[in-house]
Structure 1
Amino acid sequence: MDALTHVFLPLTIAYVLRRDLFQQPQYLLLGLFGLVSDLDKPLGVPGLLHSLVTLVPICLILIVIDYWYRDDTTYGLLTSAFVLSHPVLDILEGVTVPLLYPLVATGVGFTYPMTVVFGPDAGALWFALEGPPVALEFGEPRLGHATDPDVTENTYGVIDGYGVASTLTFLFVYGGLEWQERRERGNESP
């Protein structure tokens, strides 16, 4: 999944669910923690930061730091949610993510094998669904966004259609809710 999706899809969900945490716009930058997992690529160890073995301690450290400095864990938990959203989105995308790396090298991910067949051979309705809608796949972790098994380089997609859609959705939700709040404040009588 591209960088924009990893930032803006979780940020949109968090903003809608807990808008009160984003009263100051700089807190929107916490969405960048959705990219932490992909720091394993420049480190040269793909999978290291997609693993719960590594991510859970990182999240615990973020929560402890938040508690230490603010005597509260709200933003540590929010930041941890952004960090942990990354492997979840990768699994949903169909990337085989090594959740227990380096203990277990096998990755897990979803695939979506269902197809629609049209035409007279498809049955009485001229269409048929073949295959299950979703399947769980186990296998070798896929490096970066290489879809060809012969590609072994570590690549990273920065922008794709899903990322643009996620960004536009966030901007629409954020702008719409902010506009609505200003409008409601303007209609309040003293």
Structure 2
Amino acid sequence: MDVLTHLFLPITVAYVVRPDLFPSPWYFALAVFAVLPDFDKLLGIPGLLHSVFTVGTIGLGVGLLERRFSGTTIYATVATVFLSSHLLLDLLDGGPVTFLYPIIETGVGLKNPTQIVFGDTVQDVAVHNPLQRVHTGATNSSREAYSLVNGYGILSALVFVTVYLGIESRRRYKDR
């Protein structure tokens, strides 16, 4: 999955559900946590940051820092949800996601092989592979390529901008 989808899909959902958590556009910087797990590729240790152990440790660390400096854990919770959203999106995109790394280095993902096949006539239409499949395997250790932008990412960004502008304009109208 590309970077834009990992950034904009979770931040859009969070902003729709709880716009009060984003009193300033600067709070959208928390979306960086949604991309953080892919830094394991940069480190050369695929799977390290796609683990629930690592996500939990980072979330706990951010929570302790927030508690120490502001007395709350609201934004640490948001950051942890963004970290977790990355794992969920990768799972849905086929993975494999190494949830239990380093204990188990095999990952899991869901494949969506459903296809509609058209023949020469209307009666020749068929649906092949209608069910999702669980896919297991080793993570991709290749450091050669990483998808930064694709159509889903651009769409996710456009949806976020639309939602943001809509909520902000409604908020300004209400404040009049």
TM-score of the alignment, normalized to the shorter chain, above 0.5: yes
Pairs within 5 Å for 1:1-190: 1-119=1-119, 125-143=123-141, 152-186=142-176
Say which SS state the counterpart of residue 110 (structure 1) adopts. Answer: strand
Say which SS state the counterpart of residue 37 (structure 1) adopts. Answer: helix
Code of the residue aligned with 1:3 in structure 2: it is V
Greater RCO (CA < 8 Å, at least 6 residues apart): 2
Say which SS state the counterpart of residue 136 (structure 1) adopts. Answer: strand
Deviation at 1:155, TM superposition (A): 2.3
Say which SS state the counterpart of residue 68 (structure 2) adopts. Answer: helix
- Greater mean deviation of Cα atoms: 152-161 or 78-87: 152-161
Q: Distance in 2 between matches of 1:69 and 1:154?
A: 40
Say which SS state the counterpart of residue 116 (structure 2) adopts. Answer: strand
Q: Distance in 2 between matches of 1:130 and 1:107?
A: 26
CA distance 1:154–1:102, change in 2 (3 Å):
farther
CA distance 1:129–1:106, change in 2 (3 Å):
same
- Greater mean deviation of Cα atoms: 8-17 or 154-163: 154-163
Q: Distance in 2 between matches of 1:115 and 1:131?
A: 7
Deviation at 1:79, TM superposition (A): 0.8
Say which SS state the counterpart of residue 97 (structure 1) adopts. Answer: coil
Which consecutive unaligned segments of at least 5 residues does structure 2 have?
none
Deviation at 1:120, TM superposition (A): 5.9
Q: Write the deviation string for residues 36-72 of structure 1: whole angstroms up to 9, x where unpaired.
A: 1011112111111111122211111111111111111
Deviation at 1:154, TM superposition (A): 4.1
Deviation at 1:184, TM superposition (A): 2.5
TM-score by length of 1: 0.86
Deviation at 1:126, TM superposition (A): 2.8
CA distance 1:55–1:162, change in 2 (3 Å):
same
Which consecutive unaligned segments of at least 5 residues does structure 1 have?
144-151
Code of the residue aligned with 1:138 in structure 2: it is T
CA distance 1:15–1:80, change in 2 (3 Å):
same
Say which SS state the counterpart of residue 133 (structure 1) adopts. Answer: coil
TM-score by length of 2: 0.93
Identity %: 40
Once superposed, what is the RMSD of the aligned Cα atoms?
1.6
- Structure with greater Cα Rg: 1
Say which SS state the counterpart of residue 156 (structure 1) adopts. Answer: coil
Check whether the contact 2:9–2:160 (CA below 8 A) recurs between aligned residues.
yes
